[in-house]
Structure 1
Amino acid sequence: MIKYLFSICLITSLLCSCKSPEARMPESVQSGSFLKESAERNKKLNAKEQQQIEKIIANNPSIEYLASKSGFWYFYNTKIENDSLQPEIGDIVDFEFNVSNLQGQQIYGNTNKTYVMDKEELFTGLREGLKLMKPSERITFIFPSQKAFGYYGDDNKIGTNVPLICEVTLNTIIKNND
């Protein structure tokens, strides 16, 4: 009798354990709403910064502002007509710059920097702005936050999503012979 009872238990447990696995439902469903909300926030931020920059431009009608293809504005303080030398990838440039916010409060004073074009870290707007310059030119750039330090800031004096005004003087260009 014990053998019979043991056999029934064994057969029952084998039949119950051979059940096919069931799919589990996910604990949370990603609907893509985060990305949509983030895109909307960025559009609003961009529109707000655009208004601020347009106000600066409108308040200075004597200055001829140029819009770059990259999404920032600039004007020449000193323009060099004769020279055609502009920095290219790998060239070494020596430049001075100062950085302020849109209200004109200086963040970084006259800073001298030597930079290898597109080979070292430099925020996007300034990197693209240097490519427009010739030696001895002084240009004032207005960068929206996405062309400046964006969401992260510079971990020092520039916070998140801060548009910047940079006055840059390109001192020298040393051409790369490679």
Structure 2
Amino acid sequence: MARKKDKKNGKGSAGQNRKSSEDFITKYQQKADVISTDSGLMYRVIDETDERRHPTFQDSVEVHQRILLTDGKVIADTYKTNSSEKFSVEEAIDGLTEGLQYMALGERYEFVIPADLAWGKKGNRSKIGPNAVLVIDIRLIDIF
């Protein structure tokens, strides 16, 4: 009976996350407007601008973002809280570091970040489990 004490925290096990992530990626890749990079990052452009400024690895950015797991569980949502986030591009997870550099100021993208470009086999020991793919809806508000 002691095994019944397993906590349900939504993170999932490494095996569960790997399988659901593979299924999600396979389905996502079939969308017509998805762009895939050599690293495995996938994205869709939601809103484009005529702006020419793109962040570089050395820049910091201000963004609004909604971070979800492939099951739809929301990890963070600055759109909802109306509280943007500021951080340096180089400090972000690898998939976001890569993706931000494709974006121009004011644009909104949806990134699907494979586990190896996110929190990997260990997760972040909080809300993101091992082998979890992240879906990030992000708008680039400022570059500094």
TM-score by length of 1: 0.62
The structure showing larger relative contact order (alpha-carbon pairs under 8 Å, at least 6 residues apart) is 2
Unaligned runs of 5+ in 2: 1-17
Residues 54-81 of structure 1, C-alpha deviations (whole Å, 9 max, x = no match)? 21343xx4x511112321110011012x
Aligned mates of 1:144, 1:92 — CA distance in 2: 23
Residues 13-32 of structure 1, C-alpha deviations (whole Å, 9 max, x = no match)? xxxxxxxxxxxxxxxxxxxx
Q: Does 1:52 align with 2:21?
A: no
1:125, distance to aligned residue in structure 2 (A): 0.6
Aligned length: 125
Aligned mates of 2:58, 2:113 — CA distance in 1: 24
Q: Does 1:117 align with 2:117?
A: no
Displacement over 2 Å in runs of 4+? 47-52
The 5 Å alignment of 1:84-163 reads 84-110=52-78, 112-118=84-90, 121-163=91-133
Unaligned runs of 5+ in 1: 1-44
Identical columns (%): 25
Contact 1:75-1:141 at 8 Å conserved across structures = yes
Q: Secondary structure at the match of 1:141?
A: strand
Larger Rg: 1
Aligned mates of 2:39, 2:119 — CA distance in 1: 15
Aligned mates of 2:28, 2:72 — CA distance in 1: 10
Q: Does 1:79 align with 2:51?
A: no
1:157, distance to aligned residue in structure 2 (A): 0.6
Aligned mates of 1:122, 1:116 — CA distance in 2: 7
1:99, distance to aligned residue in structure 2 (A): 0.8
Contact 1:70-1:128 at 8 Å conserved across structures = no
TM-score by length of 2: 0.76
1:48, distance to aligned residue in structure 2 (A): 7.0
Contact 2:93-2:119 at 8 Å conserved across structures = yes
Aligned mates of 1:123, 1:168 — CA distance in 2: 14
Aligned mates of 1:148, 1:79 — CA distance in 2: 25
